[in-house]
């Protein structure tokens, strides 16, 4: 409770007041909860286990369009698949990059023969905005290998589209499959 001092100026609770004790207890509880929450919220980004692998098959969601408005009008998107060798010392070999449509049918083989990515190098594969052959549920399957255990590459899709002054962009992350 805020009290008014002589002259009408408010004063804060003082030591020994019930209000002071309650306020101090709530402040301490708040700091304790924040202290417990920060490690939990930051665990994934700061303490995630480094993943070593000699190869993987990766599923990467991609969208050749999304639906907008009440009439579910298609909004076409250009898509870029990015494959980044995250190992600082060793190359990886990209064995295949295949583009699939919403029905799981192979649309296009993006890689004709395996190729090497040097340490920290990257490669990209582009699907034009007007190419809607993949549909809403398009995807890439990326297969890679290495001669020894290396840091797994970072593989993502980036979708971007613009129309009539509006723009949209978002990413899709790879998920390992067997």
Shared-domain flag, residues 98 and 148: yes
Domain check: are 111 and 152 in the same one? Answer: yes
Higher pLDDT, 24 or 13: 24
CA dihedral 11, 15, 17, 20 (to 10 degrees): 80
Predicted pLDDT at 55: 97
What does the block give as tokens for 82?
A: 């990015």
29-39: average pLDDT: 61
pLDDT tens-digit readout, 77-127 = 999 999 999 999 999 999 999 999 999 999 999 999 999 999 999 999 999
Which two structure tokens, joined as six digits, stand for 88? 């600082």
Are residue 140 and residue 77 in the same domain, yes or no? yes
Q: Tell me, what's the pLDDT at 46?
A: 58
Q: Could you tell me if 143 and 73 lie in one domain?
A: yes
pLDDT (0 to 100) of residue 3: 57
Give the CA distances from residue 15 to residues 4, 11, 22, 24, 178, in Å, rounded to whole numbers and listed in that order. Answer: 16, 12, 11, 10, 64
Strands in 38-109 per DSSP E: 52-61, 65-68, 73-76, 78-84, 92-100, 106-109
Q: How far apart are CA 12 and CA 137, in angstroms?
A: 60
The pair of structure tokens assigned to 12 is 């804060």
**CATH code at 60?**
2.60.40
| Residue 21 and residue 82 in one domain | no
pLDDT at residue 163, rounded to an integer: 81
pTM greater than 0.85 (yes/no): no
Mean pLDDT value of segment 14-27: 64
State whether 57 and 22 are in the same domain: no
More confident residue, 91 or 30: 91
Structural domain count of the chain: 2
Per-residue pLDDT of 131-140, as tens digits, reads 999 999 999 9
| Nearest-angstrom CA–CA distance, 95 and 56 | 10
Which residue range is the domain that position 64 belongs to?
52-177
């Amino acid at each position: 409770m805020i009290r008014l001092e002589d002259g009408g100026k408010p004063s804060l609770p003082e030591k020994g007041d019930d209000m002071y004790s309650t306020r101090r207890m709530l402040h301490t509880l708040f700091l304790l909860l924040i202290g417990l929450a920060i490690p939990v919220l930051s665990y994934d980004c700061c303490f995630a286990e480094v993943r070593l692998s000699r190869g993987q098959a990766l599923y990467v969601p991609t969208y050749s369009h999304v639906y907008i408005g009440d009439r579910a009008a298609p909004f076409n998107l250009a898509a870029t698949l990015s494959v980044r060798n995250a190992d600082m010392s060793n190359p990886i070999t990209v064995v295949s990059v295949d583009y699939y449509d919403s029905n799981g049918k192979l649309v296009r083989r993006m890689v004709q023969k395996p190729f090497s990515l040097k340490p920290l190098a990257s490669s990209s594969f582009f699907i034009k905005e007007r190419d809607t052959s993949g549909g809403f549920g398009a995807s890439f399957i990326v297969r890679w290998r290495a001669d020894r255990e290396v840091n797994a590459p970072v593989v993502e899709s980036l979708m971007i589209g613009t129309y009539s002054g509006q723009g949209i962009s978002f990413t899709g992350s790879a998920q390992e499959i067997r």
